[in-house]
Amino acid sequence: MSKPKRSNVLSGLPERLLSELFEGAVAHKLLDGEVLFRAGDVGDGCYRIHRGLVKVVVTSQQGEERIISLLGPDAIVGELSMIDGGPRSASVVAIADCSLLFLSRAKFQTYIESHPELTSYLMKTLARRLRGTDDTLAATTFLSVKQRLARALLNLAEYVGEENGGRIQLRLKIGQADLAAMAGVARENVSRTMSDWRTREIVTRSSNYYCINDPKALAQDEVDSSSSLQPARHGPVTDRPLV
């Protein structure tokens, strides 16, 4: 599978500058299921993922969880709080064992002061990110349940997919509640859509592992507006975490 695109503000920096920025950064380990930080925590720094996978999560007052992004190797987590000094706006939880590098906000500020050219870069990058978010919100507001779920599975495949003879095995144990949280739909709609895909032999499941048997058909369901089961009930999908 192709490597997922970076979507973080700092991840797009030239590798030379990233290496300088994280030189001497503190190593940090995170086990599967452990919380890196929670929404509302102080934004005292950011992390660069060396190995592993995390989910970026927001939770409603009613306790409903929404997974707004998955982040893997080379992604940077928590950079916005480090830039503006505000609290974390989402929680980050490991869904595989992770090794990360921690960069403190104080070191980042010192680096910015000695590299003033980065200020202009950050402003342009944030502007592009906001424009991209507007485009994503506009597009996904009208996506059906099936389209959102197809997008979630294809996004998972980019991170944990293993291709074998045209089929893609998702090497991550994930339940329908997790898929519902990723797609922003009700859990019962996940069950209904999966039943349809099983009948069409597009997606199957064994031992809690999903297998995309027909990636082209699943991708077609992502873009085919006529394949909706019913309108989505929750907020739009975005792949740009704000933490």
Give the domain-ending residue among 139, 163, 178: 139
Distance CA 200, CA 40 (A): 44
Check whether residue 130 and residue 212 sit in a common domain.
no
Residue 57's alpha-carbon distances to 39, 89, 178, in angstroms, are 9, 9, 11
Q: Give domain status of residue 206, yes or no.
A: yes
Q: Give domain status of residue 87, yes or no.
A: yes
Number of domains making up the chain = 2
Residue 38's alpha-carbon distances to 59, 180, 230, in angstroms, are 10, 21, 33
Q: Give domain status of residue 223, yes or no.
A: yes
Q: What angle do CA 190, 173, 88 make, to 5 degrees?
A: 80
pTM: 0.74
DSSP 230: S
Q: Give domain status of residue 175, yes or no.
A: yes
Check whether residue 134 and residue 185 sit in a common domain.
no
Q: Where are the alpha helices (DSSP H) in 94-243?
A: 105-114, 117-140, 145-160, 176-183, 187-199, 215-223
In the block, which residue shows the tokens 């090794």?
A: 99
Domain with residue 112: its CATH number is 2.60.120.10
Check whether residue 168 and residue 101 sit in a common domain.
no
Residue 205 CA, distance from chain mean position: 22
Q: Give domain status of residue 9, yes or no.
A: no
Residue 134 CA, distance from chain mean position: 17
User: In a structure prediction context, what are the per-residue pLDDT tens digits for the chain, which is 243 residues long?
Assistant: 334 444 566 766 778 888 888 999 999 999 999 999 999 999 889 999 999 999 999 888 887 888 888 888 888 898 888 878 889 989 999 999 999 999 999 998 898 888 887 877 777 777 776 776 666 666 566 788 899 899 889 988 988 899 989 999 998 888 888 899 888 888 899 999 999 999 999 999 988 789 999 999 999 998 875 444 444 444 434 444 446
Task: Identify the domain containing residue 164 by its residue range.
Answer: 145-227
Check whether residue 191 and residue 130 sit in a common domain.
no
